[in-house]
Structures are given as structure tokens and as C-alpha cells.
Structure 1
Amino acid sequence: MYENLLPRFLRYVKTETRSDATSTTTPSTQTQVAFAKELMKELEEIGMKDISYNDKNGYVIATLPSNVDKEVRKIGFIAHMDTADFNAENVNPQIIENYDGESTIKLDKEGKYTLNTKDFPSLKKYKGETLITTDGSTLLGADDKSGIAEIMTAMEYLIKNPEIKHGEIRVGFGPDEEIGIGADKFDVKEFNTDFAYTMDGGPLGELEFETFSAAQAEITLLGKNVHPGTAKNTMINALQLGIDFHNLLPENERPENTEGREGFYHLLAFDGNVEEAKMTYIIRDHDRKIFEERKQKVLDIQAKLNEQFDQERVVIDMFDQYYNMGEIIEKDMSIIDLAEGAMKEVGIEPIIEPVRGGTDGSKISFMGIPTPNIFGGAENMHGRFEYVSLQTMEKAVDVIAKIAENNAK
């Protein structure tokens, strides 16, 4: 059942598909287009039908036809092709078999970068398992190529075992999730399912149907630069204005001070000079009411600071990015029950908790297809310490197949 999972995953992660936030194309990089074409060939080889590539949104779509003679809900499984903003060239995965749950794993030959249980206590969970790590110079790309490999392997298994009954299944491999725009052009009518799951979660058992609601604020600070020796009552330092703005936000509501359902204001960037400076914030909360209050807080600070001047010195461009998909999914929890039941049947204890972030499912849910998130296995995503357990990936394959089977019962 799993014989092609590891070689498939290794092949995927060695293919560079990093997205580019500065690009104006869809997908944002041509490496993702090339990877999409390779996935299309593989989908054809394993026996999927109606395989297509959408030039407008960068999604590869394919169908596994129903093999039951009754009408059942259509399921989708989705994963993203791109990797995060970290070196992704010449990925050289290492395989550690039968990890003992204690030893320090050297990533590079010199041992400058290591996976150890002090810094990464989650390693202790993987005693006796096979771990795939980086060589310390790149990310791994298990976010989300583990998801792609798991979906592909599950589809191959269902095709080879037609005695397992299932309804119609659609798979979608999309671009640019890591830069937050991958699902913007997702075509709900083309995908045509009743619900879907993104295979983009972390450790074993994660089942997530709540995300943050998210906004971004681009702030321009307009100063007045004069010689500092004669600056009294004349100079307006744009940098100081930015510091004043930041200090008016609650100090304890920053990412480093929050957890669980606690939202935050996160200063992503701050640069400039006395004459002009720019700041970028992201604003996050699970509760829509509090989310709106957070955005209003930013605007209130803008108004307070601008009151000091005879012209607008603090200019804000604020826009929503995505919303908590729980608002949609809570209307029909049967798809969560389906996934939860499938996990338990294959020996997994579901971990249901809100995502302190977002997924493509956040946007797709509000487009009309409820799309919660299931574990893909990746740990320490987006950097050189990323790793994944092969056995966790195998369990994800089991969950996909079991969801398909149980949905048809």
C-alpha cells in the first residue's frame, strides 16, 4: 500500500517550487508550473481521470470516479505545491531509520545544525519510526509535499483495490499557499465537490476546522526632515511616529506573548528614515467580533496620532486576507465527524484545536466548499529543522482512504 510513498515524497521535495511574493503571475513561479505538469503525468499513470491544469489559477485537478451505484457526497482532497520563504534549492533529504527517540540528529556534517530533544521535544514521539530530515542548508518541503504524496498514494491504493467502495473523489494541487494567495482564484464550480479536506496540517492526529481571521495593515508615516540642530517644534520624525504607533498597541498582544485562541498584532516590517517610513502589520483573531475590534483599534490610533498635526501624517491601507473557516463548517459538522471517525478507525486519537494561522481551506470554505484541515505530518515547518515521520505519512494515507470508504457507506 505504501511502497511508492517514500520515493514519491523524496522526488517531490527534491523539486524546487518556492513561491515568490513579489511576482505578479499565477503561479508566482514557473517551477510550480513545471511541477504541476509532472504531477499531471503521474496522475495519469496511476489511473486518475479528467486530469486538467487551469492556467488561470495554477491548479491541477483530477477525478477518481465513483464505484458505487448510489448517490453519495463528492469529496475533495487538496494540497499545495509551493514551499515557504526559505532556501529550497538542492534539497538533500536524509533518512533516519528506527530513530531511538533520544539521540541528537546531525543535519550537516559539521554538526552546526542539529535536531535534539531539548530544542525539539516533539522528537520523543517518534521512537522507532523513520524520520526524513534536511541536511541543514534548506527546508524540507514536507509542507506541503507530504500532503501531495499522501493524496497521490491514497488514490493509487483505491484504484488498485476497487473492492473498497467510494463515491467520486476530486484532488486538487494548487500554488502559492505560502504567500497567501493560492486559493484566491480557486474555481469552486470546476472542483465541484460537496466538501473537501486540505492535507496541510502538522503532527499526527491534527484535525482543524477553525483558523484565524486575518487582516494586513500597510502604514505610511510622513515626516518633516530639518536639521536636528534647529529641529525644535519643526521636525516630525517619521521613525519616531512609527515607534509611537507601535507603543500604543497592547504590549501583551503580540505573537510572542499569545497562544491558543488569543489573537495578536504582529509588526512584520518597519523601515524608512526621518522623512518617510513604512510599517506592515498583520492582525489575527479567531473571534470575528474581536477581530473587527482589533482593526478598529488600529484606526483609532491612526486618528489619535493625526490629531497632533495639521495634515494626515499616518496613512493606513488595511485589507482583510481570510476569515475563520469555522464560521462555515460549524453549520454542518458531519464532515468533521467523518474525519474524526476515520482517524479513530485507523488507530489515531484526533487532536481538534484551532489553527494559529490560516489554510487554503479558510478561503475555499467561504467560496462555497467547506474545507477543514487534516495532518500531513510536517514538524518545524518553513526552515532547516523541518522533518516528517514516514509512519505519520502512512497514517495520513490510511485516513484519506478511510474517509472515502466511510463516506460511501
Structure 2
Amino acid sequence: MVDTDRLLNTLFALLEVDSPSFNEDKIGLFIEGLLKETGIHVIRQDYGDSFNLVGKYKNPNSPSPPLILSAHMDTIEPTVGIKYNIKDEKLSTKGDTVLGADDKSGVAAIIEVLRVIREHNIQTGDIEVVFTSAEERGIVGAKNLDYSLIEGRYAVVLDVSGAAGTIVKRAPTHHTYTMEIHGMSAHAGIEPEKGLNAIRIASEIIGRIPDGRLDEDTTANIGRITGGTATNVVPETVLIEGEVRSQSVEKLTNTKDTIFKTGRSVTKKYPGASIEIKENEEYRGYSIEEKDPFLTFLKGEFSKKGIEPIIITTGGGSDANVFNQRGIKAINIATGMEKVHSKEEYLDLKEFFKVAEVLLNIVINFKDFAESTP
């Protein structure tokens, strides 16, 4: 029942609207219009830096606990001037921008499912749609979502790479940190011996702390280094920005402790130097049990379409992390996008169309699942 031509055209229209994080006004207005065309009541929930869209469909003839469908509106950059082509049933750009299938493929699939339900007068349970903002900047929209607007306790999030049938059962806890190293400035040509080079201290710290893939559960990364003012000044201050992710809170804590202890011990070697460390929890991890009823239901819907479920653990976060933290059983499924966050990003259209078909069946059959699940 999914109209693949219409679905693709909707995706094209979404891709052509530039929507970097915290600048989702244009895409939000466009999506709001699409939702209203499907008969969805739309609430724009402003939270200061941006906004989320919450859509509600209530079936007066068959009320039931609502299923939440969710994707995010923003993309990473660059997307301005996007030009795309289709080759071997794969949608990609000409190479000057990212595609933005992350996560506009998820948005388009949800819109198409709602259209099919309306035009065929399909009887479903209640549906809630959550389109968040600034997901790419630390899941900001989901963190600022007004959860009093949401009644559903189950959510399908469409925001992970992979073929149709890819389902995330585990995602990590993610902490970010900064280490600000303070040395002493001096004229680099006249009296460098009176200075204390913060960049050298920072480089020693970076060379000694864990980095990359540490084990099957844990990764660490230094993402940014800023400091110094000019070549003729011994740099006084350097800021190191990094992160740690792990499926294990214990491993994450131990890795952070190692990083911070290393930073302090190296800095202590240099009289007059100091270090200031700050950390922040971006989101908490989650793990869905293999026999979880909702996971079993989703796997069954893919299997009915002849698609083998692929259950994965991911190192990335999504709105599903925050939803699960807020007591909503949220499971993230793939849309067919690949190589996201790069100019090589593409969308496998065969897989994308399969996902839309399965999502339609998930929405249709969720009412029976909800009524049979305690």
C-alpha cells in the first residue's frame, strides 16, 4: 500500500530544505503542513533553543494506548546546495554535501505511513508522532521534550544505519568532558623561559590517555583542542574536549577516572600549572532484553515480510536513549541509510521502501499487541 513514488518525492522535498541543528524553523513548518494534511493534530513545543513537533491521532472508533513514531528534523552540515542522484537504487549526493537521510528518511517514512492510513481509512489504534530538533547536537530536543504531551509507553524510532530489519537492542551511555590546562604566558622571542607552555602539557596528557576503541563496550575520543593566541606568545591556556562511551557504566567510570587522573598527574609535574576538569552526561545507555515483548513484536513484523531481523548493539546514541530513560520503551530501527555523517552518505532505496511497508504494518498491528500485553 505504500506509494513509493510519493514517498520518494516527499523525501526529496525534505532533503531540499536546509535544517541544521537549532535552525529547524523551515523544515518544521513544512513537516507541520504535511502532518496536518494527514489529519494529525500538531503541537509545536518551543523550549528556547528550538522546538519539537508532537502530533496526535486519536481513533474515536477504536481507542487504545498510542504508539509513538519518532525521528529528528535536523541534520549535520553541509547540506546547502544539495544535489543528488540515484544509481543502482541508491540515493546519494554529488559529493559536495551530506545527504541528510539521517534523519529525513525516518521523517518521510512516518509521513507516508500516516498518508496511507488516512487515504485507505485503515483502522488503527491511537498514534503519536514526535519529531525532535537538535538531535545531532547532543539529543537536545528529546531532552527538552515536554513529556506531559506524550501518553504512549512504546516508541519506534527511525534513526540508525543499516538494512531493513536492523534493530538496536543496546546503546551506550555517553559522557563528554573538558580539561582546561593553565600555564603561564610570556613573549616567545624575548623571555620564553618565563612562560609555561600549556600546549606542551596538553600534548603530554593526550599522548598518555586511552583513545579509540578500548574494548567491545567502550570507546574514547579527543574531539577538539583549542588554545594559544599567537606564534610569539607562549600559550597560557589550552582546552581539550573529549568523550567516553560505553555499554558498561563501570567501564565508562573507570575510563574517565584514568583520563582525569592522568590529566592531573601530568599537570602536577609542572610547577605553576593547573588543570580544571568538567564532565557532563549526554545520555544514558539502555539494553532491551532479547525476550522483551515489544522487541519480539517488532521482529515478528519484519519476519512477516520475509525480512530477517538483525539485532545489533550500537556505539551511537539517539532519541531512543532519552525516551528509555524517561520510561518509554523505545526501539530504534534502521531506514536503509549508510555512511551517515559523511559526504559519502547514501540511502538504499530498496531497503527504505521495505522499512516503510513494515512500519505501516507495525502501526496497524500495534493495537492488538498493546491490548494483549499487560
Which residue is equivalent to 1:272?
A: 227
> Do the aligned residues in 2 keep the contact of 1:325 with 1:363 (CA within 8 Å)?
no
Which residue, out of 121, 126, 135, partners 1:168?
A: 126
* Aligned pairs for 1:13-24 within 5 A: 13-19=15-21
RMSD, matched Cα? 2.2
- The equivalent of 1:111 in structure 2 is none
After TM superposition, give the deviation of residue 67 of structure 1 in Å.
Answer: 6.6
Higher mean C-alpha displacement, 298-307 vs 214-223? 298-307
1:364: Cα distance to partner? 1.9
> Which of 29, 43, 47 is the matching residue for 1:52?
43
Unmatched tracts of structure 2, length 5 or more: 229-234, 369-374
CA contact (8 A) 1:209 1:372 kept: yes
Deviation at residue 241 of structure 1 after TM alignment? 0.9
Of residues 246, 257, 262, the one that matches 1:301 is: 262
2:296 to 337, 348, 355: 337
Letter in 2 for 1:176: A
TM-fit CA distance, 1:169:
1.1
Distance (Å, rounded) in 1 between the aligned partners of 2:170 and 2:6: 32
The one of 24, 27, 31 equivalent to 1:35 is 27
- Residues 342-370 of structure 1: per-residue CA shift (max 9 Å, x gap): 11111211111111110011112112212
Matched, 1:78 2:70: yes
Instruction: Check if 1:246 corresponds to 2:210.
Output: no
Aligned to 1:54, what secondary structure does the other structure show?
strand
TM-score (norm 1): 0.81
Whichever residue aligns with residue 272 of structure 1, its letter is G
Match of 2:232 in 1: none
> 2:284 aligned with 1:323, yes or no?
yes
Residue number in structure 2 paired with 1:352: 311
Deviation digits for residues 66-88 of structure 1 (CA, Å, limit 9, x no counterpart): 3764x64321010111111x311
Distance (whole Å) between structure 1 residues aligned to residue 351 and residue 264 of structure 2 = 51
**TM-score with structure 2 setting the length:** 0.88
Q: Which residue of 2 aligns with 1:95?
A: 86
Distance (Å, rounded) in 1 between the aligned partners of 2:121 and 2:286: 34
Q: Aligned pair in 2 of structure 1 residues 332, 189: CA closer, same or farther (>3 Å)?
A: farther
Q: How does 1:196-211 map to 2 (within 5 A)?
A: 196-204=155-163, 205-211=165-171
1:242 Cα offset (Å): 0.7
Q: Does 1:283 align with 2:244?
A: yes
Contact preservation (8 Å) 1:73, 1:407: no
Residue of structure 1 in register with 2:372 after alignment: none
**Which of 263, 281, 286 matches 2:218?**
263
Give the aligned partner of residue 407 of structure 1. 366
What amino acid maps onto 1:208 in structure 2?
Answer: V
Q: How much identity, in percent, do the aligned residues show?
A: 21
Which residue does 2:9 correspond to in 1? 7
Please identify which structure carries the higher strand content. Answer: 2
Q: Which residue of 1 aligns with 2:144?
A: 185
Q: Distance in 1 between matches of 2:291 and 2:179?
A: 39
Identify the match of residue 221 of structure 1 among 162, 181, 190: 181
CA distance in structure 1 between the partners assigned to 2:365 and 2:31 by the alignment: 27
Shift of 1:396: 1.2
Quick one: which amino acid aligns to residue 87 of structure 1? P
In structure 1, what residue type is equivalent to 2:135? E
Q: One-letter code of the match for 1:281?
A: G
- Cα distance in 2 for partners of 1:331, 1:308 equals 50
Q: Which amino acid aligns with 1:166?
A: T
Aligned partner of 2:231 in structure 1 is none
Distance in 1 of aligned mates of 2:236 and 2:297: 57
CA distance 1:312–1:184, shift in 2 (3 Å): farther
Match of residue 54, structure 2, among 58, 61, 85: 61
C-alpha contact (below 8 Å) 1:306/1:312 kept by paired residues = yes
Range 194-203 or range 297-306, more displaced:
297-306
Gaps of 5+ in 1: 20-27, 100-129
AA aligned opposite 1:59:
N
Secondary structure of 2:253 counterpart = helix
Letter matched to residue 42 of structure 1: L
- SS of equivalent residue, structure 2 residue 224: strand
Alpha-carbon distance, 1:148 to partner = 0.4
How far apart, in 2, do the equivalents of 1:80 and 1:318 lie? 26
SS at match of 1:4: helix
* Partners of 1:338 and 1:406 within 8 A in 2: no
Measure how far apart 1:294 and its partner are: 1.5
Structure 2 counterpart of 1:271, one-letter code = T
